[in-house]
Amino acid sequence: MPDVIVDVSRAGLWDAEALSDVAAVTFPLACPPQATDEDIEIFINDVLSIDRFGEYLSEPTHTVLKAVERGTIVGYIMLIADEPADSDVAAVLSARPLLEISKMYVLPGHQGTGVAGALMEAAVEHARDIGCAAVWLGVNQLNSRAQRFYAKHGFRQVGTKTFQVGAQTHHDYVMCRPLSG
């Protein structure tokens, strides 16, 4: 599928329902095979609900960028300008200040079309605009496709962390991209 033109802009409270809908479709696709449907549903209900997106969109440390094609949100990226909550993660990230890519998802049918790249470019631009020295993220150790995408965009593995989905603990790589200039 050829590259498409998407509009990437900051999401607002009015986007909470559409973002939650995109999250409910895309999150299960990024989960490792051993993640159970029940645990995925718990995570979606607890972390990706309309109410939770309303909270994220109201939080001053959070920025949600949406990718819109033909009037429809086809992907999003959630950014957090704050210290990592996990002290082990904070220890492997030496640059400060940091911007975390907390979530980044693109709807099926739009993957591989340039949407994720446009979201990533906008995230890096945002990080530079607010004076960050680096951008970091966690990616499941079994998600090699996402790891390749992040490596292509300048991220390198610097550590590991865990990620809770329902009752299951999953293992992520911590990846970081220093920003210069």
- The pLDDT of residue 1 is 44
pLDDT in tens, 121-130: 999 999 999 9
Instruction: Reply yes or no on whether the pLDDT at 89 is more than 60.
Output: yes
- Whose tokens are 């992520």? That residue is 172
Question: Rg for the chain (alpha carbons), in Å?
Answer: 15
Q: DSSP character for 126?
A: H
Lowest mean pLDDT among 58-62, 64-68, 153-157, 170-174: 170-174
**What sign results for the dihedral spanned by CA atoms 139, 84, 61, 49?**
positive
At the fourth CATH level, the homologous superfamily of domain 7-178 is Gcn5-related N-acetyltransferase (GNAT) (3.40.630.30)
Percent of the chain with pLDDT over 70: 97
Cα-Cα-Cα-Cα dihedral sign, residues 139, 142, 143, 145: positive
C-alpha to C-alpha distances, 176 to 83, 93, 98, 151, 153, nearest whole angstrom: 14, 8, 10, 9, 10
Has residue 3 got a pLDDT over 60?
no
Q: 119 or 32: whose pLDDT is higher?
A: 119
Residue type, 78: M
Does the predicted model carry a pTM greater than 0.85? yes
Encoding tokens for residue 53? 């997106």
The structure tokens listed for 80 are 């957090």
Q: How far is CA 84 from CA 8, 40, 64, 81, 157, in A?
A: 25, 23, 18, 9, 16
Residue in the block written with tokens 């993957």? 111
* Model confidence pLDDT, tens digit, residues 27-85: 888 877 788 888 889 888 888 899 999 999 999 999 999 999 999 999 999 999 999 98
Domain spans in the chain, listed from the N-terminal domain onward: 7-178
Q: What is the pLDDT of residue 112?
A: 78
Please compute the mean of the pLDDT values over residues 156-178 and round it to a whole number: 87
What does the alpha-carbon distance between residue 17 and residue 36 come to, in Å, rounded to a whole number? Answer: 24
Residue 102, H or E segment: strand 98-106
If you average pLDDT over every residue of the chain, what do you get?
Answer: 90
pLDDT score at 167 = 74
For residue 18, give both structure tokens.
């559409």
